Amino acid sequence: MSRTTHSMRAGAKDVSPIILGIIPFGLVTGAAVASAGFGLAEAAGMSLLVNAGASQLAATSLFIEGASLFVVIGTALIVNARMFIYATSIAPVISPTAGKLRPVLGHPLLDQTYAVTMTYGRHRDDVDVVWYFVGSWLCLASVWQVTNIVGVLAGSFIPAEWALDFTVPLVFLAMLAPTLKHRIDGETAVATAVAAAVLVPLLPLQTGLPAAIIIGMVWGAARDRANASGQVRE
């Protein structure tokens, strides 16, 4: 087996535990796209091009409510603003070996691919981190595409009680838990969660989410700086 194949399989394997939480998310999102009046081609294209479940669902919901195109696109961009933060964090990890692939590696950047690459992939000597990253995305993208299509085709058969208020947080908690190895990590997570709980309902157009992320970053940076340089974190 080549190193590339091994790396892609490793990425797919490491991201696979998160798949169970993605399935209902994809089904509900596909059903929402169908209820907005879009067909299978539009749903498949949106799934491939947007490549971000939260933005896709937010944009679809606003479209159903009759929001203007400006508001729909603006909200989707704001919801996905966290990807700028992910990109600046993961770039030093994948850029040295990305080569000609570097310009297109922004598209596979998702919450889940970022989490497994930064938590596991970058620390493994037996994999090429770029292909590990791509492999994790191919696994997720395949499941996301299939579940979106099934959601469109099933339409009204998707149970209404499959609300995402509970499912989606579980997906993110499953990614977050393995990374909370130090006290500062936990403090930063709590600070971000509290900020999101307060700001998301108050600020318009989902701007509370990036605001909470910035607050968490500032808190974590301040706590890291408070520790002596080079010391093991608490």
105: three-class secondary structure by DSSP: coil
Tokens coding 187: 């403090």
How many Å separate Cα 156 from the centre of its chain? 27
pLDDT, one tens digit per residue, over 42-80 is 888 888 888 887 788 788 878 888 888 888 888 888 878
Closest CA to 183 of 136, 223, 140: 223
pLDDT, one tens digit per residue, over 110-149 is 988 998 999 899 999 999 999 999 999 999 999 999 999 9
pTM, 2 dp: 0.76
Tokens coding 200: 């998301």
Tokens coding 222: 């301040």
What's residue 167's pLDDT? 57
- Give yes or no for a contact between 3 and 34, defined as CB atoms under 8 angstroms apart: no
- Give yes or no for a contact between 152 and 33, defined as CB atoms under 8 angstroms apart: yes
What's residue 22's pLDDT? 83
pLDDT, one tens digit per residue, over 148-204 is 999 888 876 666 555 555 556 666 666 677 677 788 888 888 999 899 889 988 888
Residue 227 zone, left/alpha/beta (φ > 0; ψ -120 to 50; rest): beta
232: pLDDT strictly greater than 50: no
What's residue 229's pLDDT? 57
How far is 59 from 195, CA to CA, in rounded Å?
24
